[in-house]
Amino acid sequence: MFEIGIIIILAYLLGSIPSGLIIGKTFYGVDIREHGSGNLGGTNTFRTLGVKAGLIVSIADILKGTLATALPLGFLFDSELHPLIAGVFAVIGHMYPIFASFRGGKAVATSGGVLLMYEPLMFLVMLIIFFICLYITKYVSLSSILGGIAAFIYALIDGDVPLIIVVSILVIFVIYRHRANIKRILNKTEPKIKWL
């Protein structure tokens, strides 16, 4: 039980690493929370600091989920904790990071990192759906939600019960964190990307 507690805390702390804040302040002298959507995730980093910074932050946020999900798998610990549970705590850390006044990202990249570790093919399918939707709609938020829904359908077909439960939770996180974006899409005020 003690080991499980340690893994959960480490997973949350990994998720709490504010990649966007670190990259913005260290290399650009910018706190991205004061620009754009005020969000610490990859999308706001792309908008505020450009493609290079956006890619770095997105990859870092994915890896947070991947590393956290790997924690119970015997790399550092030999635990009975299901790896997806550790992944969920990393996503919670990403959304509500203790290192950034609990103002974090929207759960997309770190959730993807969880799935990358646990079910790489699902991650690939989700990524393809995301970019197809992004190409068609030019909305990052809508593409993120649709990618999450695609992952949920994949989980249902796969039949892995823990995966179905966790993906359901992650999709709820993503939709909840994008509720303002959904309103803007309905009002036709959501910004579209211009680079694709």
At 7-49, the pLDDT tens digits run: 999 999 999 999 999 999 999 999 999 988 888 889 899 988 9
**Residue showing tokens 């996503």:** 91
**Residue showing tokens 């910004």:** 191
Residue ranges making up the domain that contains 174: 2-186
The DSSP symbol for 187 reads T
Domain membership of residue 14 (yes or no) is yes
Domain membership of residue 194 (yes or no) is no
Count up the domains in the chain and report the number. 1
pTM of this prediction exceeds 0.85: yes
Domain membership of residue 107 (yes or no) is yes
pLDDT of 37:
83
Domain membership of residue 59 (yes or no) is yes
Domain membership of residue 193 (yes or no) is no
177 contacts 95 by C-beta, under 8 angstroms: yes
Domain membership of residue 195 (yes or no) is no
